[in-house]
Amino acid sequence: MSQAAAEARRRVVIVGAGFGGLSAAKRLAKTPLDVTVVDQHNYHLFQPLLYQVATASLSAADIASPIRGILRNADNVKVILATVSGVDVARREVLAEGRRITFDDLIIATGAEHAYFGNEWAEFLPGLKTVDDATYIRRRILLAFEHAETEPDADERRRLLNFVVVGGGPTGVEMAGSIADLANRALASNFRVIDPRTARVILVEAAPRLLTLFDPPLSEAARRSLEQLGVEVRLRAGVTGCDGGGVSIGAERIEARTVIWAAGVKATPAAEWLGAEHDRAGRVKVEPDLSVPRHPNVFVIGDAALMLGANGKPMPGDAGVAKQQGKYVAKLLIARDKSKTFPPFRYRHLGSIAAVGRKSAIVQIHWLKLSGLPGWLVWSVAHIYYLIGFRNRAIVAMNWVWNYLTLQRGTRLITGVTGSRDMTGCVPLPAAVKVDGAVLPCAADPDARAQ
């Protein structure tokens, strides 16, 4: 190819290699467009199964694949490992760690991050969005049982064996059910002093029912399944306070050393980069073709975009929406490169699914509504299908079959700490540091936090 021909090719930059960004990159492979994918990680992560990493069912490698490996046969696609800090729309440049990456068309697919509704709870309420989040939560959960085994103080032992999950959406329901399964089955016979089955798992949701995206009968089926696992479901209950010793729900105090946040997310700062109009959650308001108003060559997709569906409500922030939007924008750019027009984006809702423990799930796909074991089978097939790469699919399938038949977990390793650390990943506190029976959080250990 001559230099003039190379310069004439349109340059497409994709920021983020999640479901939306990767779908766009794969669709643009082997096209007459130069594509650059920029991501702060070198892997694509299957986020819907992060909770299984956090509860020691799967390892992180089972649900992640290297981006370069996925796109290895796409000669026109380049991958850059860097953290994006801004976009210069006027100069058509993406700013990433001192680099200026020039584009003709830009696709922003940066996803979402934790949101605490203005509260300073991040230190005490870890969320679940990244591999680091999952391994940190796994460490917290497993250390809770380990420290309870040797804790002489009954009050502190009770606090260690209390687990609170805040948020009754899919992530919260799946986390609570999986922690209960871990305590009641996988760890039940592993300890000599404590009985893990005495662990108390509490799911807190401010709404009047769980899983509000589902029809009420399925939400009720999910609640019953969780309660059969021993999970305490608290509805119409909002968290009003949180510290190193537990959470407050209204006037009630629940002492717990492990509290997990699954109640809110916000978009990454795409709107700030673009100076674009956005909603309270930071999602960029986009045109029917997913472009940013006044910038027809800049697109925002996935969790970072705000687009209303046929029902007049914002499209859900799930993998299905992101994948469809990524493919749509890629097809639109291919059509534009051929000087052809392309219709507006139309979302096809494929259904909603959520797991509730080891052998139960709820499924709502148009007229099909399932719960219990039939729902779990559909849920399993759907998740295995969407995993990237045959190796990952085979490993996850084998792990699930093994766990189901033997009641064992695949990975129960405590990593990222040196020696014995307390529940915040810090050096253990002296016994005297207690106030009114509550153990105060210790100062952060930067080495442990960085793991």
> E strand or H helix at 300, and its extent?
strand 295-300
Is 174 noted as a catalytic residue in this protein?
A: yes
Phi/psi for 406 (5° steps) reads -110, -10
Distance CA 337, CA 12 (A): 11
Amino acid 31 reads T
Amino acid 257 reads R
C-alpha to C-alpha distances, 237 to 156, 184, 206, 251, 252, nearest whole angstrom? 25, 25, 5, 11, 10
Q: How many CB atoms lie within 10 A of CB 405?
A: 8
Sign of the Cα torsion 142, 145, 149, 155 reads positive
CA 120, 126, 130: angle at the middle one, nearest 5?
A: 125
Distance CA 159, CA 254 (A): 9
Q: What own/partner pairs with CB < 8 Å and gap ≥ 24 does 286-289 have?
A: 288/344, 288/345, 289/332, 289/342, 289/344, 289/345
CA 18, 23, 29: angle at the middle one, nearest 5?
A: 125
Helix (H, G, I), strand (E, B) or coil at 131: helix
Tell which residue, 294, 327, 292, has the closest CA to residue 307.
292
Query: Which residue do the tokens 């307390």 mark?
Result: 422
Residue length, the chain? Answer: 451
Contact 229, 394 (CB under 8 A): no
Phi/psi for 14 (5° steps) reads -115, 120
Tell which residue, 251, 146, 157, 253, has the closest CA to residue 202.
253
As given in the structure block, the two tokens for residue 82 are 């860097």
Phi/psi for 368 (5° steps) reads -85, 120
How far is C-alpha 398 from the chain's CA centre?
A: 23
Active-site option among 174, 205, 232, 287: 174
Would you please indicate which residues are annotated as catalytic (active-site) residues?
A: 174
